[in-house]
Amino acid sequence: MRARPRKKILAISSGGGHWIELLRLRPAFEGHFVVYATVSEAYRAHVGDAPLVVIDDVTRWDRVGLVRSALQITRLLLAERPDIVVSTGALPGFFGVVLGKRLGAKTIWVDSLANVEELSLSGEKVGPHADLWLTQWEELAYPGGPRYAGSVID
Amino acid sequence: MRLLVTVGAQMPFDRLIRAVDAWAGAHPGHAIRAQVGETELTPAHLDAVPFLQPAAFDRAYDEADAVIGHAGIGTLFAAMERGKPILVLPREARRRETRNDHQIATARRFVSRPGVVVAWSEDEVPAAMERLLSLRGAPSLSARAEGPLIDAIARFIDRS
Which domain CATH number covers B97?
A: 3.40.50.2000
A136 in a domain, yes or no? yes
Domain extent, residue A104, equals 8-148
The structural domain count of chain B equals: 1
> Is residue A153 situated within a structural domain?
no
pLDDT at A1: 47
In chain B, whose CA is at the least distance from the CA of A131?
B156
**Residues of chain B contacting residue A28, judged by C-beta atoms under 8 Å apart:** 145, 149-151, 153-154, 157
A1 domain-assigned:
no
Average pLDDT over residues B8-16: 93
pLDDT of amino acid B125: 98
Task: Flag whether residue A39 sits within 8 Å of chain B, measured between CB atoms.
Answer: no
* pLDDT at B27 > cutoff 80: yes
**How many domains are contained in chain A?**
1
- Average pLDDT over every residue of B24-49: 97
**pLDDT given at position A121:** 74
pLDDT single digits (tens) A128-144 = 999 999 999 999 999 99
Beta bridge partner(s), residue A84: A9, A106
Closest-CA residue of B relative to A106 is: B160
Amino acid A3: pLDDT: 64
- For residue A102, the model assigns a pLDDT of 97
Give residue-wise pLDDT tens across range B107-148.
Answer: 998 999 999 999 999 999 999 999 999 998 888 999 999 999
* Residue B58, phi then psi, degrees to nearest 5: -55, -45
Q: Over pLDDT 70: what percentage of chain B?
A: 100
Q: Does A34 fall in a domain?
A: yes
Question: Which amino acid, one-letter code, is at A70?
Answer: A
Q: How far is CA A75 from its chain centroid?
A: 16
Q: What is the mean pLDDT of residues B38-56?
A: 94
Sequence-separated (6 or more) residues with CB below 8 Å from residue A140: A111, A115, A118, A119, A146, A148
A74 touches chain B (CB under 8 A): no
Does residue A109 belong to any structural domain of this protein? Answer: yes
How many Å lie between the alpha carbon of B78 and the closest alpha carbon of chain A? Answer: 8
Q: Residue A63: inside a domain, yes or no?
A: yes
Q: How many CB pairs under 8 A join A and B?
A: 126
Averaged pLDDT of chain B: 95
Structural domain includes residue A3: no
CATH for A27: 3.40.50.2000
Report the share of chain A in percent with pLDDT over 70: 98
Question: Is B21 within 8 Å of B45 (Cβ atoms)?
Answer: yes
- pLDDT of residue A2 exceeding 60, the answer is no
Report residue A123's pLDDT band, with 50, 70 and 90 as the boundaries. confident
Q: Which residues in chain B are closer than 8 Å to A20, comparing Cβ atoms?
A: 73-74, 77-78
Question: A119: pLDDT confidence band, cut at 50, 70 and 90?
Answer: confident
Q: What is the pLDDT of residue A4?
A: 72
> What is the band of B60 on the pLDDT scale with cuts at 50, 70, 90?
very high
A117, pLDDT greater than 80: no
Contacts of B146 in chain A (CB under 8 A): 150-154
Helix (H, G, I), strand (E, B) or coil at A2: coil
Q: How far away is chain B from the Cα of A85, in angstroms, using its nearest Cα?
A: 10
pLDDT at A14 over 60: yes
> Residue range B76-101: average pLDDT?
94
| Reported ipTM | 0.95
Closest residue to B72, CB basis, from A16, A24, A29: A16
Smallest CA–CA distance, residue A73 to chain B, in Å, is 21
For every residue of B3-50, DSSP letters joined together read EEEE--SSS--HHHHHHHHHHHHHS-S-EEEEE--S-S---SSSEEES
Three-state secondary structure call for residue A136 = coil
pLDDT of residue B54: 83
Give the pLDDT confidence score for residue B8 in this predicted structure: 92
Range in A46-50, A141-145, B100-104 with the lowest mean pLDDT: B100-104
Does pLDDT of B91 surpass 90? yes
Residue B84 belongs to domain spanning:
2-159
Residues of B with CB under 8 A from a CB of A: 8-10, 53-55, 58, 72-75, 77-78, 102-103, 105-106, 108-109, 141-154, 156-158, 160
pLDDT at B51 over 80: yes
% of chain B beyond a pLDDT of 90: 89
Q: What does the buried/exposed string (b/e) look like for A116-127 if buried means 16 or more CB atoms within 10 Å of the residue's CB?
A: beebbbbbeebe
* A2 located within any domain: no
